Amino acid sequence: MSSLRHFADRSFDRLFAPKLRKNIENSILLLAGVGFIIHLTLVFLKKYEWLDTQFFQGSLLNDPISAIYTPFSLILIYEVYLLLFYLPRSFTSCVVKQFEIISLIVIRKIFKDIPTIDLGSEWYYSEQNLQLLTDLIGFLLLFLLIYWFYSSKKRLPVREIAPSLKRFINSKKIVSLTLLTTLSLMSVYSLSIWLMDAIKGAPAFTAQKIDGLFFNQFFTILILADVIILLISFRYTEEYSKLIRNTGFIIATILLRLSFSATDYFKMVLILIAVGFALLILRIYNAMENPRPSDTIV
């Protein structure tokens, strides 16, 4: 087992080395720029009917603003890579990275929906306008909750790295590497299915099709990884507050996953409930582990 941990430690350091992370970041930014230009070109080609409209149907090709959807999708992939980097550090760092990913997904959806705004005389009755307004208000609340979560995270007590904690971190590195391999294989498989459907003539450039390539399955696998880490943590700690905190974070992740299957309005409600629940869990944990004088009950 020690040899496996040593191998995982070396592999993790290579796959997430600072230089490699920087190179991946630069490559993603370059691909995001190229993807934006390609998407924008497809929008104009479709507008002038120089493309097969049956194959290239979908709201993502109806307006130039929708082209922002592509670079955000690529940036999200890099954020997932960073999440796997933060996974061995702590549950809290991993969860806050999940919230950042969700916030980027919400922003991406807002850019997708902006071209559908109804500017008619009865704009206040428009379903698209109400949905966009809900997303905008929801995003502001989400951003505020994430800010509060960051503030609460800074209050976490600093602990010395004991030998048992090092073994736990190495175990989490094994989970992170396994997750990276699984997500990579899943992405290749999903992309192959998408290309096959596209060759057969099925509509390919819709938000549902593109999200199905990766993000819809990502949080399902992440939930399983979190549960595995939680089970491993029972071996290294018996602290009630920490076990409850980690369990609460898993519940928040499950709620985020459920939001992908919810209707448009309930989707934002589930996201806000998930982040708000995790925030309350973290604040209660802080009050137990690192109480302020005002937190102490006499």
Neighbouring residues of 30: CB distance < 8 A, sequence distance ≥ 6: none
| Average pLDDT over every residue of 88-116 | 87
Are the C-beta atoms of residues 219 and 257 closer than 8 Å to each other?
yes
The string of pLDDT tens digits covering residues 36-65 is 998 888 888 877 777 665 555 566 777 788
pLDDT confidence tier of residue 92, bands split at 50, 70 and 90 = confident
116: pLDDT strictly greater than 80: no
pLDDT confidence tier of residue 137, bands split at 50, 70 and 90 = very high
CA dist 246 and 92 (Å) reads 8
19: pLDDT strictly greater than 80: yes
| Average pLDDT over every residue of 220-237 | 81
188: pLDDT strictly greater than 70: yes
- 129-133, 189-193, 196-200, 207-211: lowest mean pLDDT where? 207-211
The string of pLDDT tens digits covering residues 239-297 is 788 888 889 999 999 998 888 888 878 899 999 999 999 999 999 998 887 766 554 44
CA dist 99 and 150 (Å) reads 11
Are the C-beta atoms of residues 206 and 243 closer than 8 Å to each other?
no
| Average pLDDT over every residue of 106-115 | 85
* pLDDT score recorded for residue 167: 80
pTM for this structure? Answer: 0.82
CA dist 13 and 9 (Å) reads 6
More confident residue, 127 or 138: 138
Helices 91-113 and 240-259: angle between axes, nearest 10 degrees: 20
Percentage with pLDDT > 70 across the chain: 82
123: pLDDT strictly greater than 80: no
CA dist 4 and 73 (Å) reads 34
* pLDDT score recorded for residue 208: 56
| Average pLDDT over every residue of 179-188 | 84
Among 112, 83, 28, 99, smallest CA distance to 225 is for 83
- 96-100, 186-190, 228-232, 250-254: lowest mean pLDDT where? 186-190
* pLDDT score recorded for residue 22: 92
- Rounded to a whole number of angstroms, the distance between the first and last alpha carbons of the chain is 48
Among 183, 213, 231, 170, smallest CA distance to 83 is for 183
* pLDDT score recorded for residue 296: 45
| Average pLDDT over every residue of 16-20 | 91
pLDDT confidence tier of residue 204, bands split at 50, 70 and 90 = low
Best mean pLDDT range from 54-63, 123-132, 206-215, 253-262: 253-262
> In angstroms, what CA-CA distances link 178 with 11, 21, 87, 172, 212?
11, 18, 12, 10, 21
* pLDDT score recorded for residue 217: 73
